[in-house]
Structure formats: structure tokens, C-alpha cells
Structure 1
Amino acid sequence: MSLRCLFIVQGEGRGHLTQALALRHLLVEAGHRVEGTVVGQSRCRAVPSFFSETFEGTVSFVESPSFVPDGDDRSVRPWATFTHELARIPTFLDSLATIDAAVERHDPDVIVNFFEPLSGFYALRYRPAAPIVAVAHQYMFHHPAYAFPTGRWVQKWGAQAFASMTAWGAVRRLALSLYPAPDRPTDGLVVVPPLLRQALFEQPTGRTDSFFLVYILNSGYAEEVIRWHEQNPDVRLHCFWDRPVAAPVEHYD
């Protein structure tokens, strides 16, 4: 049976967008169809162009809740985030209506949510007939095999609460994991391997390049990477970061 699928994707960063591309390839290979995608975009960060250029199908964008970072672009300011996003509720209601219009237009058999918080609110407000499957590595936060840093119970609670919010209304949560862990059927949690794009498997084999690949979502963490590199100058790093004012390529040393 061929399924019609609709994706809802968090556009913050690149991980969820890349996972959506990878899953689309797998679904199409299996004979299913991805009719369209709704991407939640942050007011602070543009959705990378590679997704729209690569994804085959209708792509629409909606304004999505986002965190307010501190002045160093490192950590989240909880109260500022709450008050700022509270004032944007009318915008988010319009976003939910856009998602519902996409659901009505594409009439999917299943909705796949890649950690977009609007999906949880959409499920509560509109109660779609199509089942929702939530996909993200962050759902491992609810698995006992995931080890949180000790003594940081507030951060743990916040991470788990946000992950739960994105999956409101979902019939399954697919937790992407780098290591094996048992499923938790009573919690609707299924542990699956990471979603990797087909292009990764088409790279030349036998390469022996010796470097670490680093992706920095919040540019404020670059200073920590630089300090680590100064203490380990023999380790070559290739870093990618989301900083619009940066040059396309910068050589640190």
C-alpha cells in the first residue's frame, strides 16, 4: 500500500532538515509519496537554501517559536523567550492555520513531524485524522539509556518538557540513536538508527583524511572550540557554523 505523507520540519539548524531529506529518499524508494513539507522558520535564523533546492515537492514556510539567546549567543534566556513568544501568539495561530491548509490540500495518510513544536499545538487544536509520527534524536531524552550530565536536573527537565511538547498528539516517537537501546512500547517510543542522506554512501571509500568535523549552531561556542584547538594544535578541525556575517571560509591557523 502506497502512503501519502506530509512532513512538518523544524528549520532551526540543519539536522532535522537533513533527516527529512533522508527519510523522503527512503519513503520514495519504498513506493510511498511525500506530497509536501511545511518548514517552521525562526525569526533569528534563515532556513538554509540547500533544503528548498534539494527537496522534491511543495515546500511552504511558517513562523515558528524560537529561543531568545543571551548576548554571547551561547545559552537560552528562558524568561525573555517566554515573554517574547507570548506576544507572537497571533502569528503562531496563523502558522497553525497554514499547516491545517496543507493537511487539507494534501490529504496525507500520515504526518511526519521532525521536532517542530508547532506540530504539537496543531495536533491539540485541529486534531487531524491522519496519525502523526514524531522523529528526532531528542526523544532519546526520555529513554533511561540516555545519560544526562549529573547535577543538571533543571536542564534535564527543560529538555524533556520541550521534547514532549513537540510530540503532543503523536502516535509514535522515533528516537534516533547512535547506540542500540530497547524500545519502550508503553511510552510509544521506538529507537531507530540515525537517518543519513544517500549522498553520504556515495562518497569515495578508502579516504584517510585526519580531521574532526565540527558543526556549531550557536556561534558563541566557537570560542570554546578555539581554546580546545589551542591546547591540541596537532588535531585538525573543519568547522561549520551559522554566522551570517562570517566569510565563506576562514582559516584560523
Structure 2
Amino acid sequence: MGKFIFTVQGEGRGHLTQAISLSQIAQEAGHEIVGYAVGSTQNRKIPSFFTEFIGDKPLIQYESPSICYGNGKAVQVGKTALQAFTKFKTYWNSASELAKFIEEYTPDGIINFYESITGLHQWRTGAKIPCLSIGHQYLLLNRHFESIPEKKIDQFFLNLNTQITSIGSKKKLGLSFLPLENDLARNIEVVPPLLRKEVKDLKAYSGQRWLAYLTHFRLAEDIMAWSEKNPDVQLDCFWDHPTHKDIFIHSDNLTFHPINAEKYLEKMAQCTGLISTAGFESIAEVMFLGKPAMMVPVPNHIEQMINAFDASRAGAGIAANSFDLQIFKAYQEQHVTDYTHYQDWIQESAKLMDFHLRDLIEPKPHRKNSWKSFLTKRIHIAWPKNNGRLSMPKV
């Protein structure tokens, strides 16, 4: 059994919820999480759902690179990339804070949830402590992964940033909606999405209301406009608004809720479908509950564009360029996808992650090969061949 420190990118909820999920898996397997380090933009508060989960475990927060938005909707690619140069001294100091934290709690290994400062720390120290980097972004580096054909320059910068986060990492695990062949030449292995125990324990049923989750409050403008023209559709929307800290009733059919993990999961279990910017975690959760999703990538957000493309191929739902919910209304009438195989894939998470945690700190090639052989056989039995993915129905 090992002792680990988790380093987590604190922008949005995706990586934080993945850290919670892996914490649950690790602790059930007998491992210990001795501390958490969260990188975020200046003065960004760590969400309460995360701090409440970790309780009195040691926690530090420091400044790290983040996505820059123009008017709150579109990603500014150039400004985002420029941070590495204009704020390098700040990030160097953050790496020093992380180093002191790691020295104090002496973990056997570091588990990095796409946190850039971790790569800088590993480069500074010569990767003395074994590190595992995990996230959907590492799947994009897998040569077997099929991405979108456009925006090659944006994809280059995304992949460059992904490489930076994983500097000094002994392992890179790519979270994937469906099984895909490993790319061992690039040290990338494929694992299922990490879902919290609370999600797996939910009993889903189809209610009457749609659910929306927004990564930025300004994205709500389009939903407000559509709901006013379609009063027959009932909507619940979760957002992080700077002034509306409580429930905000926009109209009889549209209610906004502050981010609350427990309430969000409750609404997800009851909804008829999810409207969301194309964050990996939300899509993975709603697929597990067997509900369709409408995925609207944040403008110029290359990662979300790829997520929406990949998830639609996996049967999650439909990708769209705007919050024209009429598209989703029509799509729900014809959406048919069997999520059984996906749910079976999710159930492999605990065994796979326990293996990777053990292998990170106690490499045993002969044991690794036997595990791989066992898991490969199971996947080949359960999944038809199509470049390692399921054939999905056309919609």
C-alpha cells in the first residue's frame, strides 16, 4: 500500500471530482492520501464540495496557469499561452510551495490531475518522487485516438500544455469514454472515466425537467432567451454566478442554482437530459445514468470541441455550436443508445486504478503483464472491434 499526494487543476469541477473519485478508490484499496494541492487562478476559491470531502486532510492552494476568456464566452488562445511567459516567476514560486508541501508529507508517489505546476516541480527536482498524470487530455496524445480535423494549431498548443503537465511522469493515463488500444510507445495507457461513488449509487429515472450545467455564468444568456420562447420546457441550470449566490428564479420554467454537488446529482438522476458545455466529467456522469446530453463547447475551447466530437461518437448525445435547445428537443425524440457496455467499462475503474497506483511505487513487470493480459481478454470479449471502440448508431 502507498501514501500519495494529489495535485489537482482547480479550474471547473472536472479534475476536482476525478480526484474525489480516485481518493475513494484508493482508500478502499488500502492506500492513503496524505495531502492535496490545488492549482488555480489568483483568488479563486476551492469549491466547498471538494473541501468538505477531504475534511481535515492537509491542503494547499497556489496560483497556476488557467484558460483566459474574452467576454466570458470565448477562449483567448494567445493570451492563455502567453501566461507561461508573463507569469513565470509566479509559477516558479508556486512550484516552490508545492515542493515544501511534498517534503513535509513525504509521499511514496504523486498523482497529478492535469496540474501544470506539478510538471514544473518534477522538472526542478529531477522527478525524484514517482508521478502519475491522469486526465482525458492524455488520451489525445494516444496515436490511436481520433480527433477533429480542424484547428490543428490549437490542438498543437493543447497537446504541448498536456506534455508540460506530465513532465517527469512515470505514467500517463488517458481517461476514455470507451476502451481504446494503449499507446505504450508514448507511455499512455487507457482507463475508464473516474466517477464518484455518489454517482454510481444513484438510481436514475426520467423526470420532466431538463438539466443544464455551465462553466461560466455568461453562457446562461442564450438559455434564458430560448426558455422565454419555450415556456413548455422546464429547466434547472447550475452556475457559479458572482452575485446570485442563492437560487435565482429567472422565469416560471427556468431556475438557476448555485453549484452544489449533492443537489446537482439529485437533479441529474431526475432529468430527461443534460445541456452542458462539453466538459469531460459531466458527460461521463450523465452517460452512466443513461441520459442523453447536448454538448455545446465554449467558443475557441479546443479541448471541449474534441470532447464533444468524441462523446457524440460514443453515443453520449449530440454536439452543437450554440445553446439552441430546439436541436436538443428534436434529438431527444430519436435518441436510442444502449449504455450497458459503457457502464461495464466504468466498473473496471477500481481494479485498474489500484493496479496503476501499486505499479507506480512498486514496479513489478511480471505482475503488470499478467494484469494486462487478464484485462485485455475481458475487453476483447465485451467490445466489438472498431479501432478499439463500439460502433454507434447514427442519429
1:99 aligned onto 2:98: yes
Match of residue 238, structure 1, among 236, 239, 255: 236
Higher RCO by CA contacts (8 Å cutoff, separation 6 or greater): 1
Asked if the contact 2:122/2:128 (under 8 Å) is kept, the reply is no
Query: Partner of 1:62 in structure 2?
Result: 62
Q: Percent identity?
A: 31
Stretch moving more, 55-64 or 223-232:
223-232
Asked if the contact 2:144/2:183 (under 8 Å) is kept, the reply is no
Query: Partner of 2:312 in structure 1?
Result: none
Query: Partner of 1:222 in structure 2?
Result: 220
> What is the one-letter code of the residue matched to 2:48?
S
Asked if the contact 2:143/2:183 (under 8 Å) is kept, the reply is no
Query: Partner of 2:156 in structure 1?
Result: 157
- Cα distance in 2, alignment partners of residues 147 and 218 from structure 1: 28
Asked if the contact 2:214/2:239 (under 8 Å) is kept, the reply is yes
1:207 aligned onto 2:194: no
> 1:156 deviation in Å?
1.6
- The within-5 A match list for 1:118-157 is 118-144=117-143, 146-157=145-156
Q: Residues 29 and 104 from structure 1, CA distance in 2 versus in 1: closer, same or farther, beyond 3 angstroms? A: same
> 1:73 deviation in Å?
0.8
Asked if the contact 1:181/1:191 (under 8 Å) is kept, the reply is yes
Query: Partner of 2:6 in structure 1?
Result: 7
- Cα distance in 2, alignment partners of residues 163 and 184 from structure 1: 16
- Cα distance in 2, alignment partners of residues 165 and 98 from structure 1: 18
- Cα distance in 1, alignment partners of residues 107 and 90 from structure 2: 25
- Cα distance in 2, alignment partners of residues 95 and 172 from structure 1: 23
Q: Residues 149 and 245 from structure 1, CA distance in 2 versus in 1: closer, same or farther, beyond 3 angstroms? A: farther
> What is the one-letter code of the residue matched to 2:14?
G
- Cα distance in 1, alignment partners of residues 36 and 160 from structure 2: 25
Asked if the contact 2:142/2:186 (under 8 Å) is kept, the reply is no
CA RMSD for the aligned pairs?
A: 2.3
> 1:173 deviation in Å?
1.1
Query: Partner of 2:183 in structure 1?
Result: 184
Of the two, which has the highest radius of gyration?
A: 2
- Gaps of at least 5 residues in structure 2 are 254-395
- Cα distance in 1, alignment partners of residues 27 and 227 from structure 2: 42
> What is the one-letter code of the residue matched to 1:68?
C
Q: Residues 184 and 211 from structure 1, CA distance in 2 versus in 1: closer, same or farther, beyond 3 angstroms? A: farther
> 1:66 deviation in Å?
2.0
Provide Cα deviations, 1:45-80, integer angstroms capped at 9, x if missing partner: 32212211211411111111223210x212232443
- Cα distance in 1, alignment partners of residues 204 and 48 from structure 2: 31
Provide Cα deviations, 1:85-113, integer angstroms capped at 9, x if missing partner: 53433322221111111211121111000
Q: Residues 151 and 215 from structure 1, CA distance in 2 versus in 1: closer, same or farther, beyond 3 angstroms? A: same
- Cα distance in 1, alignment partners of residues 164 and 229 from structure 2: 40
Provide Cα deviations, 1:144-164, integer angstroms capped at 9, x if missing partner: 454433322122222222222
Q: Residues 45 and 237 from structure 1, CA distance in 2 versus in 1: closer, same or farther, beyond 3 angstroms? A: farther
Q: TM-score, normalised by structure 2?
A: 0.58
- Cα distance in 2, alignment partners of residues 148 and 227 from structure 1: 32
Asked if the contact 1:148/1:156 (under 8 Å) is kept, the reply is no
Q: Residues 106 and 157 from structure 1, CA distance in 2 versus in 1: closer, same or farther, beyond 3 angstroms? A: same
Asked if the contact 2:15/2:113 (under 8 Å) is kept, the reply is yes
> What is the one-letter code of the residue matched to 2:154?
Q
Asked if the contact 1:6/1:111 (under 8 Å) is kept, the reply is yes
